[in-house]
Amino acid sequence: MESAYFITGTDTNVGKTWATLALMHYFQHQGKSVLGMKPVAAGCVLHEGKLKNEDALLLQQHASIQVDYELINPYAYLQPVSPHIAGVNNPVDLDTVGEALRTLQSLADRVLVEGVGGWYAPINEQQAVSDLAKFLALPVIMVVAIRLGCINHARLTYQAICASGLPCAGWLAMCTDPNMLNREENIATIAKALNTPLLGVLPYQDVADFDFLARQLTVG
């Protein structure tokens, strides 16, 4: 069992944060201490005088151990735009992220690192989420939003992960569209197309119950 995973998605707003929180609860149910990390976040608000991101605050809230916010989210940007634009005056440095991750790994049994946007979303002028994942050298868990177009998005993202040389530890089916037609058939088609295990199907919820979502998972 790995001590850390990188969580990526097939696009923006596919449910990466909810999936990450479900994974955190899953490992906590196994008796593990768990921390979540969102190295790069755009669309932050001033909170106690500092820019903070709603998703990163959730990761901090659900962690087994309380740590400084800056370790969870080293790069917090005000504008809700691509990080390479939002962070033009404070670009993401991979070494800074790596140092924060090593600190978190020294504190907990498991660390879940949530990416930003999709696999090829730029995080600075030269590098993308894929470069961050490769730098951290973590196995990848792919979150697939089960909605129209999901088969193509899942296959393309999976191929890109494999091309990076990183292992894909599995994928999660995140049911984001309550009116999705042939949901089960779409999930089955993706499962057949990918040479990596389906770790769980997370049903649509208006308000997340992370303990319930955690019970839908099987990792390892």
> What is the pTM for the complete model shown?
0.96
34-70 confidence digits (pLDDT tens): 999 999 999 999 988 899 999 999 999 999 999 999 9
Q: What 3-state DSSP class applies to 53? A: coil
Listed in sequence order, the residues at least 6 apart from 205 whose beta carbon sits closer than 8 Å to its beta carbon are 212, 213
Instruction: Report domain 4-214's class.
Output: alpha beta
2 CB-side CA count, 13 A: 18
Q: Is 38 tagged catalytic?
A: yes
Q: Which of 16, 32, 38, 134 is catalytic?
A: 38
Q: Where are the domains of the chain?
A: 4-214
167-177 confidence digits (pLDDT tens): 999 999 999 99
